[in-house]
């Protein structure tokens, strides 16, 4: 076990009041097919100290069940009900904010099924709006059709901003890359971009957690999504150095706490468990 890093009084107080942790996936709890250092210990400390968690991911190319299985295969017992993806946030947004009934979806089966299960009609003919996700089944004819619909004035939504997904064989074009192709073609930016760091993703996660923002910390490896989501929505932010960010970049990230890995966070949570009700 690693010794806890030294903390300021502010950090100690912040850790003591934490009741829920929002967790990024890649670079934070897993790296490729393996759990990150200390991740197993971290989840056991959450359980021992009565803290809850919600995994928060922008990746909507696979279902919650598939996300769960990937994490279980990495040795982390995380069930689908403990995961929130940008697909669920998009479904909520379309219904509650835009009052949308029909959508053309450029997205993988998991996104299409989530939207359909939430009562949205999936159609390529006169949809109320176009939804663009991480479309791992992208088809040129449908990309072209989506551009035509958007050029004619339809609203359109991107489920998250990420342009590249780090795969085991290199970077994959993600939602942001497909969104960019449509924007360049049509001359129109999406009307809204959800996922991290949007406030809709944060609000959905906060509501699901059942805790107030001052009791929640976002833990991730990217300043531009994970830390920004926290800072824009009144949450504490921890940056782990097991993914996209090195210690030099972490210094200007705005995170409240910078940690080598989740094992170090586990030790801090054990040491600061003072406000447990
Ligand atoms: Mg990440």
Q: Distance, CA 26 to ligand 1 centroid (Å)? A: 4
Q: Distance, CA 277 to ligand 1 centroid (Å)? A: 31
9-58+211-271 and 87-193 share one fold: yes
Question: Which protein residues have their CB within 5 A of the ion that is ligand 1?
Answer: 24, 26-27, 221
Interior/surface letters 158-189, b for 16+ CB within 10 angstroms, e for the rest: bbbbbeebbeeeeeebbbbbbbeebbeebebe
Q: Distance, CA 92 to ligand 1 centroid (Å)? A: 23
pLDDT digits (tens, 9 = 90+) for 34-74: 999 999 999 999 999 999 999 999 999 999 999 999 999 99
Q: Distance, CA 35 to ligand 1 centroid (Å)? A: 13
Q: In whole angstroms, what is the distance from residue 37 CA to residue 35 CA?
A: 7
122 beta partners: 103
Q: Does the structure show a pLDDT above 60 at 275?
A: no
What pLDDT shows up at residue 166?
79
What fold, for 87-193? Answer: Rossmann fold (3.40.50)
Q: Distance, CA 273 to ligand 1 centroid (Å)? A: 26
| Owner of token pair 């250092």 | 37
69 beta partners: none
Binned at pLDDT 50, 70 and 90, residue 273 comes out as confident
pLDDT digits (tens, 9 = 90+) for 116-168: 999 999 999 999 999 999 999 999 999 999 999 999 999 999 999 999 987 77
Structurally, at CATH architecture level, domain 9-58+211-271 sits in 3-Layer(aba) Sandwich (3.40)
pLDDT digits (tens, 9 = 90+) for 84-107: 999 999 999 999 999 999 999 999
What pLDDT shows up at residue 38?
97
Q: Does the structure show a pLDDT above 70 at 274?
A: no
What pLDDT shows up at residue 120?
98
Angle at CA of residue 226, ends 223 and 231, nearest 5°: 85
Q: Distance, CA 218 to ligand 1 centroid (Å)? A: 12
Give me the half-sphere count of Cα atoms (radius 13 Å) on the Cβ side of residue 42: 26
pLDDT digits (tens, 9 = 90+) for 190-210: 999 999 999 999 999 999 999
Q: Distance, CA 24 to ligand 1 centroid (Å)? A: 5
For the chain, the structural domain boundaries read 9-58+211-271, 87-193
pLDDT digits (tens, 9 = 90+) for 237-255: 999 999 988 898 888 999 9
What angle, 0 to 180 degrees and rounded to 10, lies between the N-to-C axes of helices 39-48 and 262-271? 20
Q: In whole angstroms, what is the distance from residue 206 CA to residue 209 CA?
A: 5
């Amino acid at each position: 076990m690693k010794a806890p890093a030294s903390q300021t009084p502010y950090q100690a107080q912040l850790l003591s009041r934490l009741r829920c942790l929002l967790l990024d996936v890649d670079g934070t709890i897993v790296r490729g097919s393996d759990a990150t250092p200390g991740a197993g210990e971290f989840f056991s400390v959450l359980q021992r100290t009565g803290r809850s968690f919600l995994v928060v991911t922008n990746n909507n190319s696979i279902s919650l069940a598939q996300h769960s299985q990937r994490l279980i295969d990495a040795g982390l017992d995380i069930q689908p009900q403990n995961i929130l993806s940008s697909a669920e946030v998009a479904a909520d947004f379309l219904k509650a904010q835009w009052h949308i009934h029909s959508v053309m979806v450029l997205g993988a089966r998991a996104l299409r099924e989530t939207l359909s299960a939430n009562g949205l009609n999936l159609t390529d003919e006169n949809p109320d709006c176009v939804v663009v996700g991480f479309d791992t089944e992208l088809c040129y004819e449908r990309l072209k059709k989506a551009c035509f619909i958007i050029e004619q004035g339809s609203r359109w939504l991107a489920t998250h901003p990420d342009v590249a997904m780090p795969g085991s064989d290199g970077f994959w074009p993600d939602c942001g890359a497909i969104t960019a192709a449509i924007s360049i073609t049509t001359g129109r930016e999406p009307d809204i971009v959800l996922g991290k760091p949007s406030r809709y993703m944060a609000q959905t996660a906060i509501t699901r957690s059942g805790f107030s923002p001052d009791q929640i910390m976002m833990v991730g490896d990217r300043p531009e999504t994970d830390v920004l989501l926290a800072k824009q929505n009144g949450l504490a932010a921890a940056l782990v150095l097991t993914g996209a960010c090195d210690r030099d970049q972490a210094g200007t990230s705005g995170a409240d706490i910078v940690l080598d890995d989740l094992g170090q966070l586990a030790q801090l949570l054990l040491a600061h468990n003072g406000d447990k009700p």
